[in-house]
Amino acid sequence: MRVKVCGMTDADQVKGLDEMGVEFCGFIFYPKSPRFVFKHMPAINIKKIKGKINKVGVFVNAPSEEILQTVDSCGLYLVQLHGDESPKACEKISDYISVIKAFRLAEDDNILWKIKDYKEVVDMFLFDTEGAGYGGTGKKFDWDALLGLNIDKPFFLSGGIQPEDIPALKEFSKAPVARDLFSIDINSRFETMPGVKDMDKLKTFVSRV
């Protein structure tokens, strides 16, 4: 099972994730986030981060020109669009770099309706929990909402995933919908403070999944 660790703010911790075999690390480029990476690292330092780990830039309703400039200045591998970006806006970005479109799910959402206009214009989806703002809530949505659906696109499963969820994740991975499960996405439940990860907790979790 692939793992993405989001909200990274420290190059040494990213190196540690790479050594663990974590496939993706997320840098948040949303100024209102407590994990806004430019408060901690300039673009050149992000670009200098090397290794097998793939650098993902997380943006919220940012202009396409700003996103593409950040992709180049930071050496990003993927872009995650976590706001209210239209299919047309997503397509413009995906002409340049692979795009993950995030959807914040509320109870009783028609998931297939929400994603249908994005299927042809992005590379992957991410399912997170609906909250008051655009950031992660640290809470789960009901994964059962995905059961029985044909997503037909690789997706990340996000939203308050914590160490105790390993049995539930393994059970979810047996469901037919999980044939499209590309990676899980973890963040705040593995932190000592916003943007600072508990590396021991992460190492244990990664080794178990």
**Residue positions annotated with a catalytic role:** 6, 128
CA distance 143 to 109: 12
Alpha-carbon distance of 200 to 50, in angstroms, equals 22
Residue type, 178: A
Which tokens belong to 201?
């907790």
β-sheet bridge partners, residue 128? 104
CB atoms < 10 A from the CB of 163, how many?
A: 15
110 class by beta-carbon count within 10 Å (0-12 exposed, 13-18 middle, 19+ buried):
exposed
Question: Helices (DSSP H) in 98-163: which residue ranges?
Answer: 111-115
**Cα separation of 11 and 200, whole Å?**
17
- Secondary structure (3-state) at 183: strand
DSSP E strand stretches across the chain: 3-5, 24-28, 54-59, 78-81, 98-105, 124-129, 155-157, 181-186, 191-193, 196-197
Query: 102 and 81 in contact (C-beta within 8 Å)?
Result: yes
